[in-house]
């Protein structure tokens, strides 16, 4: 759906919600606007159709618009809550996108058990990092490779149910969801590989495929696709089990399967076929506080499968993990994160690793002298090797460094 066709439906939905919001028991509206000074990595960014792994590329130092977001919640009744978030971000196209919008019903509970149901469009609960306004991180500007991909290609349009058991020491939570409109998820991991970028995409956004890949396929760039589309008729699902204990931390295990039909496809730009990718993964994450230091660790292991020709099954195995340490020092919040990521193409060439592997180091220093202002300095260095780069006349091994200074205003 084009941006022009999408706006009427968003406006009508907003007008329909006004009578409910005007009678809400509580309203909350929060947002931010972000300006940056960026020293970009030398290789052209994937956002601009290149093969660079950072949000900004092509070298040079310049002022950039980092983005803006607005998130509203309305407690319509004691049990019913409405939430929606929109963002404005700069990329190869600039526009306002819907991040998520859902209704949640959670009746008041007087026992140790509590349940809830939500329906709409929302992020699968993968991220331990991105729990701030507009699905951003309070620790760094750039999320991990895992959560960069979640922001690019994963969104659930459907319904999720939760059951909680609240003990005196710990709380157990079980989530499960059925969803659609995420059939192309995995396409970007297969053709581009991992990235580290805070360029989050909203419902109806269009991701740009690498220009070299498009030319190699006999087409003319730029070529874009909507990752939040329904291509087949299957319902995807995910399940997550979480343990939380005050003063001890959190541990979560999750399984995701979009259950897409790898043979199904729909036409998109230039008469090309946009295939459904059967994408599955396991995710294990934990967080713990040791004095003033918060530790986050997460690992993901999965695969995505396509069958463009009957009998030709192409599989991309992917893995990623990170360890983040963040210090809570009043107005100061330093953070350090180490990422590792890899993919493997199957069937591959005997004796060769067809895919990629790499590491990234992110260092950030946050200073929040006022509730409405956060200043951040971040340095990101990525060292990776991707074999397909040789097919485009590039060295498989590449290194890149991106540095940013951000001023983020909150309201």
Give the pLDDT band (50/70/90) at residue 7. very low
State the pLDDT at residue 6.
45
Is the pLDDT assigned to residue 196 strictly greater than 50?
Answer: yes
Q: How confident is the model at residue 5 (pLDDT cuts 50, 70, 90)?
A: very low
Q: Report the range of poorest mean pLDDT among 8-17, 133-142, 314-323, 349-358.
A: 8-17
Is 90 contained in some domain?
A: no
Task: Copy the structure tokens of residue 54.
Answer: 């950072």
Decide if 139 is inside a domain.
yes
Neighbouring C-alpha atoms within 13 Å toward the C-beta of 168: 0
Summarised one tens digit per residue, pLDDT across range 146-193 is: 999 999 999 999 999 999 999 989 999 999 999 999 999 999 999 999
- Quick: pLDDT tens for 348-369: 766 667 899 999 999 999 999 9
The pLDDT of residue 246: 86
The verdict on residue 89 lying in a domain is: no
Q: How far apart are CA 63 and CA 52, in angstroms?
A: 20
Does residue 382 fall inside a structural domain?
Answer: yes
Distance CA 152, CA 197 (A): 9
**Is the per-residue pLDDT at 2 higher than 70?**
no
Residue with more model confidence, 220 or 174: 174
Q: What confidence score (pLDDT) does residue 14 get?
A: 45
Residue 317 domain flag = yes
pLDDT at 11 over 90: no
pLDDT tens-digit profile of 116-139?
999 999 999 999 999 999 999 999
Interval 237-252 mean pLDDT: 95
Q: Does some domain include residue 33?
A: no
Q: What integer is the mean pLDDT of 330-342?
A: 97
pLDDT score, position 75: 95
Per-residue pLDDT reduced to its tens digit, 245-304: 988 899 999 999 999 999 999 988 767 889 999 999 999 999 999 999 999 999 999 999
What are the Cα distances from residue 62, in Å, to 36, 104, 343, 384? 8, 42, 33, 25
Q: How confident is the model at residue 26 (pLDDT cuts 50, 70, 90)?
A: confident
Q: Within a domain: residue 128?
A: yes
pLDDT in the model for residue 352: 64
> Is residue 8 pLDDT above 50, yes or no?
no
The whole-angstrom separation of Cα 298 and Cα 117 is 26
**Residue 3: predicted pLDDT:** 41
pLDDT computed for residue 349 by the predictor: 63
Choice between 7 and 211, residue whose per-residue pLDDT is larger: 211
> Residues 190, 304: contact at Cβ < 8 Å?
yes
Q: Please report the pLDDT score of residue 22 as a whole number.
A: 57
Report whether pLDDT(63) > 50: yes
Q: What is the pLDDT of residue 351?
A: 63
For the whole prediction, is pTM greater than 0.85? Answer: yes
| DSSP3 helix / strand / coil % (the chain, rounded to 5) | 15, 55, 35
Give me the residues paired with residue 98 across strands: 86, 203
Is 340 within a domain? yes
Position 174 scores a pLDDT of: 98
Mean pLDDT of the chain: 92
Distance CA 96, CA 88 (A): 5
Tally the domains of the chain. Answer: 1
Query: Contacts from 175-178 at CB under 8 Å and sequence distance 24+?
Result: 175/125, 175/238, 175/239, 175/240, 175/241, 175/242, 176/237, 176/238, 176/239, 176/240, 177/124, 177/237, 177/238, 177/239, 178/235, 178/236, 178/237
Domain housing 339: 39-60+99-410
pLDDT tier for residue 92 given thresholds of 50, 70 and 90: low
As a residue count, the chain comes to 411
> In 10 A of CB 189, how many CB atoms?
25
Mean pLDDT of 69-93: 92
> Which CATH number covers residue 56?
2.40.160
């Amino acid at each position: 759906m084009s941006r022009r066709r999408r706006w009427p439906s968003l406006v009508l939905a907003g007008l329909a919600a006004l009578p409910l919001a005007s009678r809400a028991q509580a309203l909350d509206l929060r947002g931010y606007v972000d300006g940056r000074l960026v020293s970009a990595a030398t290789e052209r960014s994937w956002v601009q159709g290149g093969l660079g792994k950072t949000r900004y590329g092509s070298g040079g130092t310049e002022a950039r618009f980092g983005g803006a977001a607005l998130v509203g919640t309305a407690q319509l009744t004691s049990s019913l809550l409405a939430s929606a978030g929109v963002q404005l971000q700069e990329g190869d196209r600039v526009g306002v996108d819907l991040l998520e919008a859902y209704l949640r019903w959670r009746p008041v509970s007087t026992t140790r058990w509590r349940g809830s149901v939500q329906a709409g469009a929302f992020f699968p609960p993968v991220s331990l990092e991105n729990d701030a306004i507009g699905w951003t991180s309070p620790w760094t500007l750039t999320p991990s490779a895992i959560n960069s991909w979640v922001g690019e290609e994963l969104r659930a349009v459907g319904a999720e149910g939760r059951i909680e058991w609240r003990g005196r020491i710990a709380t157990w939570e079980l989530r499960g969801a059925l969803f659609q409109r995420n059939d192309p998820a995995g396409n970007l991991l297969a053709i581009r590989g991992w990235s580290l970028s805070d360029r989050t995409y909203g419902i109806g956004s269009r991701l740009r495929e690498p220009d070299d890949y498009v030319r190699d396929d006999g087409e003319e760039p730029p070529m874009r696709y909507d990752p939040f589309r329904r291509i087949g008729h299957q319902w995807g699902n995910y399940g997550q089990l979480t343990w939380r204990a005050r003063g001890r931390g959190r541990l979560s295990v999750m399984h995701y399967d979009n259950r897409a039909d790898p043979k199904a496809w729909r036409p998109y730009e230039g008469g090309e076929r946009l295939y459904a990718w059967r994408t599955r993964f396991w995710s294990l994450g934990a967080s713990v506080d040791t004095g003033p230091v918060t530790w986050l660790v997460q690992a993901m292991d999965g695969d995505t499968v396509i069958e463009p020709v009957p009998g030709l099954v192409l599989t991309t195995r992917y893995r990623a993990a990170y360890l983040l340490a963040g210090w809570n020092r009043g107005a100061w919040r330093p953070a350090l994160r180490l990422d590792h990521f890899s993919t493997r193409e199957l069937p591959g060439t005997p004796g060769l690793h067809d895919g990629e592997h790499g590491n990234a180091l992110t260092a950030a220093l946050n200073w929040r002298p006022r509730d409405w202002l956060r200043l951040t300095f971040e340095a990101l260095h990525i060292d990776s090797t991707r074999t397909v780069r040789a097919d485009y006349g590039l060295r498989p091994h590449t290194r890149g460094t991106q540095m940013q200074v951000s001023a983020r205003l909150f309201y």
